[in-house]
Amino acid sequence: MAASLPPSRPRIPGSGLAKGLAVTLRTMTRKTVTEQYPDAQPELPPRTRGVIGLFEENCTVCMLCARECPDWCIYIDSHKETVPAATPGGRDRSRNVLDRFAIDFSLCMYCGICIEVCPFDALFWSPEFEYAETDIRDLTHERDKLREWMWTVPAPPALDPGAEEPKELAAARRTADKLAAQQEPAAPEQPAPEQEGRE
């Protein structure tokens, strides 16, 4: 059997209109406050999406950010460089060297896909938003300018002390413990030399 519904009050015609007008009047009677922007900086959340900073040392020129960008506003140029072998008889290796990394902020829609897909954490959000220019061509920031934005990137939030350690660290610790356990039995204990008694 269906449960009975509680009795509802009869609706007064125009009650919704009266509630809406009450909200409007309440808002109209409040004093308006204008923030004096250049003098008083707005308080932004620490992870605000302002401008993108480049940590160039982490960039491996994998081009993932440029390929995944829906606006095609990331420009990357690189060349291959041969690195000599580290050991004698080894093979020379080639690696990509970054020549140009630029982001056109006149096209960027601040979606953050480039930051999410970067496998080496080379791109970060900075809360800075004051980079307006008088010429639209100046909104293309080259790698030197993107590197300067890294100074404004906030530190990551602190880890919870009660949390378990990251899986990468746990795996590395287990591997190190296994290697240490294998090396201990491999080294046999040498008997201590006996002292000769003097008479």
Q: What is the DSSP string of 137-179?
A: GGGEE-HHHHHHGGGGPPPPPPPPTTSPPPHHHHHHHHHHHHH
For residue 65, say whether it is annotated as part of any ligand binding site. yes
Please give the structure tokens belonging to residue 124: 């970060």
Question: What percent helix, strand, coil does the chain show, rounded to 5?
Answer: 30, 15, 55
The dihedral over CA atoms of 102, 105, 106, 112, expressed in degrees to the nearest 10, equals 120
Alpha-helix residue ranges (DSSP H) falling in the chain: 15-29, 64-68, 113-117, 143-148, 167-186
For residue 111, say whether it is annotated as part of any ligand binding site. yes
For residue 73, say whether it is annotated as part of any ligand binding site. no
For residue 62, say whether it is annotated as part of any ligand binding site. yes
Binding residues for [4Fe-4S] cluster: 59, 62, 65, 69, 108, 111, 114, 118
Binding residues: 59, 62, 65, 69, 108, 111, 114, 118
